[in-house]
Amino acid sequence: MSTFNSLKEAQEYFKGDIFASDNGMVIDELGEDYCCCSMTLNEHHLNANGGIMGGVIFTLGDFSFAVLSNQIHRPTVAQQVSVNFLGMPKDRTLKAKAVLKKTGRSSTIINVDIVDGTGRAIAQFIGTGFKL
């Protein structure tokens, strides 16, 4: 059962996530057991070596996890998360697809695959959410 009645309702709710919004993260799709989010990278996302800051990639994974976990049960907070960085983006787009792996009475497990605009694997984020 979904907590948001529409994609627009979820987008409006997550405007309150100022950090994600200020960094250009948006919700593109939302279903009962998945969501897709994206962002366009710019010079504000670069690290000292000129690459994309790992925290930017992590935050897109965390944002996607938050959207889907709160679609399943609101409110849900992160209990444990991990990220594996797999590659550097080849263009200026990041796309994240969060998929529900398991939901129970008090927790939810979600996998998020992050790719660039060419489809190149950038990161894998795994989150366990605690249902409040």
Which of 52, 73, 63, 66 lies closest to 120, judged by CA? 52
Burial 63-73 (b: 16+ CB within 10 A, else e): bbbbbbbbbbb
For 7-131, CATH gives: 3.10.129.10
pTM of the model: 0.96
Domain ranges of the chain: 7-131
Instruction: State pLDDT tens for residues 11-50.
Output: 999 999 999 999 999 999 999 999 999 999 999 999 999 9
